[in-house]
Amino acid sequence: MVDWKRLVNKAFFNRNMEIKEILNLINQKKWLIFWLTVLGAVLAFDLVVIQEPKYEAGSRILVVQKQAEGQDIYTISKSAQYLTGILKEAVYSDSFFDKVLLFAPDIGKDGFSDKIKERRKEWRESVKVNIVRDLGEMGINVYSSDKDRAEQINKAVIEVLGKEHDFYHGGGDNVQIKVLDYPLVGEKPVSINLWLGTILGGLIGFSAGIFRAVGRKTKTEIKPETSSLEGNNISL
């Protein structure tokens, strides 16, 4: 008959031993953990401080589709998701970037790399598109170190979406773009909270220290026994 009480007590004892062993390893590496925590906090602090301040220009648009008679709400909702999803990806395309420059030549390519791959990355970092599910609403946020430039780019994005949206979805006059909120630039630059960034950096460093202390736990190595016949001559 299985002695469950004995098995439970043994498992509990082993568990306690494992916890004590881990705590002992952490105690042995406490200075390593401490300095990795400090290093993580300092690096995060420096990254936040040297980060170039950027202004945010935000706007909202509504994608409206003409409803056919008898369409149910579910179909309309799915159609709104489909259209906003297409337009969101279109904003990040090379053709859309070129159209923005045509509609707002004053923006110029200054601030964007001549290399296509790097320029795509910079454009994605400058323009963020958020979709409100089921409503056909899109929020457009543009980030730039210059307030006027952020506003100009946002206006150009809205302009291109309003006049060239059919190029991307093919819905023709059945789809319209309505501007809900025109671009508004914040008075202060957007930046990561200094103390929050420092704390997060410290937590990352602390986690790395714990992982290094516990993860590098030495295990007993089983070495293969050397043959007792090695080096001996056996004659028959």
> What pLDDT score does 229 carry?
40
pLDDT in tens, 192-224: 666 677 778 778 887 887 777 776 554 433 344
> What pLDDT score does 183 carry?
92
pLDDT in tens, 160-183: 999 999 898 877 778 889 999 999
Q: Is the pLDDT of residue 184 over 50?
A: yes
Among 63-77, 98-112, 116-130, which stretch is predicted with the lowest mean pLDDT? 63-77
Q: Is the pLDDT of residue 140 over 90?
A: yes
Mean pLDDT of 84-89: 92
State the Cα–Cα distance between residues 17 and 9, nearest whole angstrom.
Answer: 12
Q: Which residues belong to CATH 3.30.70 in the chain? A: 55-185
Mean pLDDT of 75-90: 85
Q: Is the pLDDT of residue 12 over 90?
A: no
Q: What is the mean pLDDT of the chain?
A: 77
Class level of CATH domain 55-185: alpha beta
Q: Which residue has the tokens 């290094």?
A: 212
CA-based torsion, 201, 186, 104, 140: positive or negative:
positive
Highest mean pLDDT among 92-101, 129-138, 163-172, 220-229: 92-101
Single-letter amino acid code for the residue at 1: M
State the Cα–Cα distance between residues 236 and 83, nearest whole angstrom.
Answer: 88
Q: Is the pLDDT of residue 143 over 70?
A: yes
Residues of the chain with pLDDT > 70, as a percent, come to 75
pLDDT band at residue 3 under the 50/70/90 scheme: low
> What pLDDT score does 139 carry?
94
Task: Report how far apart the first and last C-alpha atoms of the chain are (Å, whole number).
Answer: 55
pLDDT in tens, 27-54: 777 777 788 888 887 777 677 666 677 8
Single-letter amino acid code for the residue at 233: N
Cut 0.85: pTM above it: no
Coil, helix or strand at residue 141? strand
Coil, helix or strand at residue 205? helix
> What pLDDT score does 42 carry?
79
CB distance 48 to 134 below 8 Å: no
> What does the block give as tokens for 18?
């494992």
State the Cα–Cα distance between residues 141 and 136, nearest whole angstrom.
Answer: 17
Residues 6+ apart with CB under 8 A from 41: 198, 199, 201, 202, 205
pLDDT band at residue 92 under the 50/70/90 scheme: very high
